[in-house]
Chain A
Amino acid sequence: MQDADAFDAVYRRESEMVLLFLARRTLDPELALELTAETFAQAFRDRRSFRGSSAPEERAWLLTIARRQFAGFVRRGVVERKALASLGATVPQMHEDDLQEIEDRAGLAELRRTIGNELARLSGDQREALRLRVVEERSYDEVARTLGVSEPTARARVSRGLRALAQGLEHSSRSGA
């Protein structure tokens, strides 16, 4: 991927894969599109540092950048747009049918249920705390008020639940239609 034409080819081949990869991690189509845009912009910016020669290597490189983008988002809570800005590109507005298509192709509805399945395995107090915090994304204060416990208790339940959930997911794999 040494020039813009080669970049076009890589984008044609891999953009959907990157978008779905990010959608399945963020569970949010719009956010996934933004991260996809920044991923490709950064790939283009850093194209000369890429030493691979095959499609699998290009894919692995893109996914590495995508993972980094996602990790950065989780850490900071915002999408970094440095590469997009330096390239002078913007992210197009997403319409409702785009949103639905990504939802469907990435199987987000099913994925949300899968997470619900894992939640259902936990003890009652952990499950409720995790559902409110992770699925509904409520604040700890809200979680505490909803559950009828103090905020530190809510935090502790979420913390314990996450530990138990991760252990459960270690041995679980699922497949949708």
Chain B
Amino acid sequence: MRILDELGDELSRAAHDAEGRRGAGQARSLRRTVLFALLGLLTATGVAVAAAAIIKRGDPLPTPRGSDVPPELTPRAGTAVLNGLNVTAPDGGPVWDVRTSRSRTGAVCATVGQVFDGELGIVGLDGTFHALRAGAADACSVAQQDGFTLAGARGFRGRSGTTGITVVSGVAGRGVRTVRVAAAGSSRPLQLGPGRAFLAIFTGQPDAVRPRVTATLAGGGSRTLRFADTGQTLAADPSGGAPWAVEATPARRPDLRCVVGNRTKGPDSPTPSRYLGLSTAQVPVRCGPRGTAFVATQRFVPYVPRVGVPYAFFWGPNVSRTIVWGATGGAQKVTVLGASAKVAVDRATGAFMAVLPGQVDPRRLSVRIGNRTLRGTTAVGRRGQRLATPPVPAWRSVASVLAAQSQPDPFRLIAGTVEEGADAEDVAGGPAWSIRTWKARIDARTNAPRGYGRDLLCFAVGQRGTGNSLREPLDGGRTRAVGAGQPDGRCNGPDWLATHPAVPAVLTYVDDPGALEPKPVRVVVAGLLGDNVRSAELLGAGAPRALALGPHGSFLLVLDPRFAGADLRVRQVRATGAVRTSRSEVSEAACRIGSPPVRVADPDGGPTWIAGIGTTSASIVQSIRRPSQRGPSPKTAPCRYVGRLVGGRLASVADGRAQVYPGPGSAAVGGTGANFLSPGHPVIVEVRSAADQTQRDTGPTTPAQIARRTLPGRTTITGIALKSVTSITLRTPRDVRTLVPDPRSGVFLAVYDGPFYGGEIVATSHQRNGRTVVKRVPLSRR
């Protein structure tokens, strides 16, 4: 890069000058020869019984719409066969099996489930059996001779976030002699059924189990697939949740070796909180002389990092733990004395770690390594410096730390200012809706400026509940409190309202956001226009409707669901006689559906997922244009989106809410990424993996989640490929599947239930000329 050469010349000249060796012959010209390495952008037994007497039979699980499943993933009638593997799950219930079948295009399909009365299905968390119809399959793939035709590690939900089971299953190729599975420290052979299917079940979710399956080929050699298994040495966490990774790390001196450990990501790691930039917990690097055993023993308790205070390692507001870590002098046995603890030892480096509950006093512990017993901390620092004995902080809970430090909502209610607006009848037949206004001040503990003029005017809408409460309807029939003093109040400054037309809030509620086709049941339109408005009317919902203005110019309407998606506006006449019109925020403008999108069925049977190329409106194009970009601004620009299909329109559905929002769930606005593609880089792969924060404490909230035992949250893998790419094989922490990009747009999409916390995604693109290109997308990030 020329500019770096110029900078190098300048720095080199200055450096040599500084050393007093200035001279034409000595000045070095730095010509760069080394190319770059891109860094990441930024820095989550029971006994099986037939149980026929206690399991109820429910309706079969609905199969996806035919249009949401391509022919290569649709089983052909009459080809399904159970493999008779009959594996008992550690959490009980009917035995598990794999049903194999052939797709309409001849591919091999597999579906995993439980066998009840000779039928394959799932026993839901409520103990009800739902059959899995033969017309749908978990996955299909072209039959392979060697290795695996299909393989996956699918998590099924338990009754809390970290329990449940992992079902490892697949179909072996004809050239495979045996299949073994390794997980949780053991390895065992697996039976192959008549359809060459195999099956094993483990306690815990895939990210904690990290299974590995190996096929031994009849012709010699083997094939191994790792699911969420990164090859790290893992120490169990006492919670049973996300484990800890322990590894050797470089020392600052050649005569030393060092060990570090950090908790991997998972549903319970990092500790849930509202903090920004939260990372998983880590222990400090500890070292010792090469060939000699050393140990560090310490209790860590949650704290809140302060801006500007550097730390050598990060624990942060993560849960208390007492940890013993270090290295052996050789490949010896390590035992913790003084408490019950399982020690993980990396046989290659001797690094070890044991994680105990934070209540365990580290002063009671010692470690037996071979025939030596070490106590406390014998380790030294990275530079070989001796370390003071770390203090033993008192155990404390995460909640106590967060409660003391939590960021408040910016708007603080001023007591005695709450006023009731008029009620509105619910067009869906529910409790009446009401609007409430109040005054608030900016909380001085937030980043908002102090001493801001006058008090803010706020409002909230909800349905009348017991007492004087207002409740917002959520999914699954749940509600939450809204109103004065609750988060998410909508506030504005009276000075600003005196000169600007406020934007109305438009909320589209649906009957069941988890349904394939959620039906709008009402559209709530509300706002607060300020005290200087004489009259106002709503436009866009049939004939103009006069708005009855309540305290501070507040208004509320509950409209018929046919106005969902309408272009609603509020026209107001101010005290000065000026007429102003404001429009609801329309995020749909970010990306609108263009050509027919790629469609994928939702794992819970919810609204269909779609991805494709669309258009971005002129206003958005203008707003994302960089100042350095020249020439006239285009009226529209292409965009690439992922979202849900609701009522034939692109929409998104927020976790736990009973509303749908117009516009994409996510979008690459201003370009599709196609211009980044080349024969050497024929595909862009984007991974979005998100836990459902609303279900951390509540458990499953919809009938589909209870019946299917699907994991909360979703992972989508999408992207765009060159037209020369005929298929893309995705190897993820859950399975191996092959996608065919849309022939028109090159867009592809896969949707999984639950987030991916670790490991990597390997995308192999197969091109028309027979060439394959492999792209790896790491998922782990501290």
Contact = CB atoms under 8 A, between A and B. Distances in A.
Interface of A: 3-5, 7-8, 11-13, 15-17, 19-21, 24, 33, 36-37, 40-41, 44, 51-54, 56-57, 87-92, 94-95, 97-99, 101-102, 105-107, 109-114, 116-118, 120-121, 123-125, 127-128, 131-132, 135-136, 144-145, 147-153, 155-156, 159-160, 162-163, 166-177
Contact of B274 (A12, A127, A163, A174): A163
Given A11-B30, A120-B666, A173-B779, A40 B11 contact: yes
A143 B519 CA distance: 35
A175 B452 CA distance: 43
A51, A52, A167: most-surrounded residue (chain B CB, <10 A): A167
B693 A177 contact: no
A20 B779 contact: no
Interface in B1-53: 1-4, 6-8, 10-19, 21, 28, 30-42, 44
Contacts of A175: 684-687, 775-777
B10 A89 contact: yes
Interface of B: 1-4, 6-8, 10-19, 21, 28, 30-42, 44, 250, 252-254, 274, 276-278, 383, 407, 410-411, 442, 446-449, 452, 456, 491-493, 495-497, 500-503, 582, 585-587, 590-591, 623-624, 628, 652, 654, 661, 663-671, 673, 676-678, 681-691, 693, 755, 757, 775-779, 781
Contacts of A20: 36, 38-39
A41 B3 contact: no
Contacts of A110: 673, 676
Given A148-B501, A159-B410, 19 more contacts: A15-B4, A57-B250, A87-B14, A89-B10, A91-B7, A92-B6, A121-B665, A121-B666, A132-B623, A148-B502, A152-B442, A152-B491, A153-B491, A155-B447, A156-B442, A163-B274, A171-B689, A174-B41, A177-B683
Contacts, number: 263
Contacts of A172: 687-690
B686 to A, nearest CB: 5
Given A159-B448, A173-B781, A176-B676, A116 B661 contact: no
Contacts of A152: 410, 442, 448-449, 452, 456, 491, 493
Given A113-B673, A149-B496, A156-B411, A3 B686 contact: no
Contacts of A8: 8, 12, 15, 28, 30
A98 B6 CA distance: 11
B12 A11 contact: yes
Contact of B449 (A89, A91, A132, A155): A155
A70 to B, nearest CB: 12
**A interface, over-half SS:** helix
A88 B12 CA distance: 11
B14 A89 contact: yes
B249 to A, nearest CB: 11
A95 B456 contact: no
B677 A177 contact: yes
Contacts of B33: 12
A159 B487 CA distance: 13
A124 B587 contact: yes
Nearest to A118: B666
Contacts of B586: 124
